[in-house]
C-alpha cells in the first residue's frame, strides 16, 4: 500500500504493522519504532543500516536484518569503474565526443590506474572485494580499520591520515557509525594531496562534503569519484563544472541481478521470522 501522508498512514496502521522494510534512504528512528507497538522485525533492503536506530531495536528486542554478500560484487565493480572513470576521464571523454569537440583536436592525456597505491578505509566484505580487484591492476593495497586484521596480507595504517598520505586512490568502504562520520576530513584530504583522489562508495557523511568541495576547488586533492552524498539527492552544485569529479546517483548495488537478490533476501528474512526460524542475515 502506498501513502503520501505518513502521519495519517501511521495513525491508521500503527497498531497492525509488524514489520518494516527499510533501505539506505528510508530507515526507522526511535520515534517510528516507539510509534509501532506491534513491530517485530526490521528487514533492511541494503547492507548499511545507519538509518535504523539499532540501540532502540536492541532495547525493544526487535531484530534487524540486512542484505550483505549479495551486493558485494556490484559495489566493488562500481568502485573500480569509478576509479577508472575518474583517472581516465571516461565521462569527460564521452562528453568530448558527443559535443563534437574531437574534430578540433585530440583529448588531453589522463592518469594511469595500474600500479597506483590504493588505500581502503574499512576492510570488510566490500573493502576486501575492492582490494582483490585492485590487485589485478597491480596496485599495492593498504588499509585502515579500527584494528589490524592479522590475517590480511595488505599493509595496515593505524590512522586514516597516514593511509591517505601513502595512497594515490583513497576508497571509503566502511559502515557509517558515529565514529566514522566525517572520517575523511580536511586533514585527511590534505594528506591525500593534489595527486590523490577520493572514491566514496560508502555513505555521504563519511566525507566532510564542504571540506571536499573546497579541497577540489582549491586543487588540494586531485579528484573525487562519488556514489554517495551527505544530503541525497542534493549534490553540491560547485562540483558540476569540475572535470576531475565523477558523480553517480547512489547506484552501487543497482543492477537487476543484485537488486533481485537483495529483495529475495529481505523476503527470506521476513519469512524466517514469521515462521519462527533463524534469521538468515541478522544485524542485531
Ligand atoms: O547503499 C546501499 C546499501 O547500504 O546497501
**Catalytic annotation, pick one of 26, 88, 220, 250:** 250
The answer as to whether 100 is a domain residue is: yes
* Complete DSSP assignment for 160-226: HHHHHHT-SEEEE-S---TTTTT-B-HHHHHHH-TT-EEEE-S-GGGB-HHHHHHHHHTTSSSEEEE
262 in ligand 1 pocket by Cβ < 6 Å? no
Mutate to test the pocket of ligand 1, among 24, 72, 172 (most ligand atoms within 8 A of CB): 24
| Geometric angle at alpha carbon 128, from 124 and 130, rounded to 5° | 125
Q: Is residue 221 part of a domain?
A: yes
Higher-confidence residue of 227 and 4: namely 227
Indicate whether 179 belongs to any domain: yes
pLDDT digits (tens, 9 = 90+) for 49-81: 999 999 999 999 999 999 999 999 999 999 999
Q: Distance, CA 125 to ligand 1 centroid (Å)?
A: 13
pLDDT higher than 60, residue 15? yes
Are 18 and 154 part of one and the same domain? Answer: no
Strand spans (E) along the chain: 19-22, 41-44, 64-65, 118-121, 141-144, 155-156, 169-172, 197-200, 223-226, 245-247
79 and 60 belong to one structural domain: no
Longest CA–CA span in the chain (Å) reads: 68
Residue 153 maps to a domain: yes
Task: Give me the domain span that covers residue 29.
Answer: 3-67+256-274
119 beta partners: 142, 170
**Mean pLDDT confidence for 191-198:** 98
- Are 262 and 163 in a shared domain? no
Same domain, 7 and 40: yes
Residues 36 and 134 in one domain: no
Does the pLDDT value for residue 1 go beyond 60?
A: no
Question: Is residue 119 in contact with ligand 1, taking CB distance under 6 Å?
Answer: no
Which CATH number goes with the domain that contains 40?
A: 3.40.50.720
C-alpha cell at 138: 597491480
- C-alpha 77 to ligand 1 mean position (Å): 14
* Residue 6's pLDDT band (cuts 50, 70, 90): confident
Span 155-176, pLDDT tens digits = 999 999 999 999 999 999 999 9
Candidate of 22, 42, 75, 205 to mutate for ligand 1, largest count of ligand atoms within 8 Å of Cβ: 75
Domain assignment of residue 34, yes or no: yes
**Is 160 in the same domain as 129?**
yes
Closest listed residue to residue 43, CA positions, set 251, 263, 260: 263
Domain shared by 157 and 225, yes or no: yes
At 5 the pLDDT is 87
Please check whether residues 145 and 87 belong to one and the same domain.
yes
pLDDT at site 253: 98
Domain count along the chain:
2
115, 141 contact by CB (below 8 A): no
Same domain, 131 and 154: yes
- Whether residue 218 lies in the annotated active site: no
Domain membership flag for residue 281: no
279, part of any domain: no
Rg (CA), the chain: 21
pLDDT tens column, 114-146 = 999 999 999 999 999 999 999 999 999 999 999
Residues 214 and 91 in one domain: yes
Q: What ipTM does this complex have?
A: 0.94
By alpha-carbon position, which residue is closest to atom 5 of ligand 1?
46
* Distance separating alpha carbons of residues 24 and 63, to the nearest angstrom: 17
Give yes or no for residue 3 having a pLDDT over 80: no
The reply to whether 221 and 116 lie within a common domain is yes
Residue 283 lies in a domain: no
Q: Are residues 27 and 146 in the same domain?
A: no
Instruction: Report the chain's mean pLDDT, rounded to a whole number.
Output: 97
Q: Which of 158, 131, 130 is nearest to 144 (CA)?
A: 158
Burial label for 208, CB within 10 Å (0-12, 13-18, 19+), is buried
Amino acid at each position: 500500500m502506498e501513502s503520501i501522508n505518513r502521519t495519517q498512514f501511521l495513525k491508521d496502521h500503527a497498531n497492525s504493522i509488524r514489520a518494516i522494510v527499510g533501505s539506505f534512504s528510508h530507515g526507522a528512528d526511535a520515534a517510528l519504532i516507539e510509534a509501532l507497538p506491534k513491530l517485530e522485525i526490521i528487514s533492511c533492503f541494503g547492507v548499511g543500516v545507519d538509518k535504523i536506530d539499532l540501540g532502540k531495536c536492541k532495547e525493544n528486542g526487535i531484530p534487524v536484518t540486512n542484505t550483505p554478500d549479495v551486493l558485494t560484487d556490484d559495489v566493488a565493480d562500481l568502485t573500480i569503474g569509478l576509479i577508472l572513470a575518474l583517472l581516465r576521464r571516461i565521462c569527460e571523454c564521452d562528453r568530448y565526443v558527443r559535443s563534437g569537440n574531437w574534430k578540433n583536436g585530440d583529448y588531453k592525456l589522463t592518469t594511469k590506474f595500474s600500479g597506483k597505491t590504493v588505500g581502503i578505509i574499512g576492510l570488510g566484505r566490500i573493502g576486501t572485494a575492492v582490494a582483490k580487484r585492485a590487485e589485478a591492476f597491480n596496485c599495492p593495497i593498504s588499509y585502515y580499520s579500527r584494528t589490524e586484521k592479522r590475517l590480511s596480507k595488505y599493509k595496515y595504517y593505524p590512522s586514516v591520515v597516514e593511509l591517505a598520505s601513502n595512497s594515490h586512490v583513497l576508497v571509503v568502504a566502511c559502515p557509517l557509525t558515529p565514529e566514522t562520520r566525517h572520517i575523511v576530513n580536511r586533514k585527511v584530504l590534505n594528506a591525500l594531496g593534489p595527486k590523490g583522489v577520493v572514491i566514496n562508495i560508502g555513505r555521504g557523511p563519511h566525507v566532510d562534503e564542504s571540506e571536499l568541495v573546497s579541497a577540489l576547488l582549491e586543487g588540494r586533492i586531485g579528484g573525487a569519484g562519488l556514489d554517495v552524498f551527505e544530503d541525497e539527492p542534493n549534490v553540491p552544485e560547485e562540483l558540476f563544472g569540475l572535470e576531475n569529479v565523477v558523480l553517480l546517483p547512489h547506484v552501487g548495488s543497482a543492477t537487476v541481478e543484485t537488486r533481485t537478490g537483495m529483495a529475495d533476501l529481505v523476503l527470506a528474512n521476513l519469512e524466517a521470522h514469521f515462521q519462527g526460524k533463524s534469521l538468515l542475515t541478522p544485524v542485531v
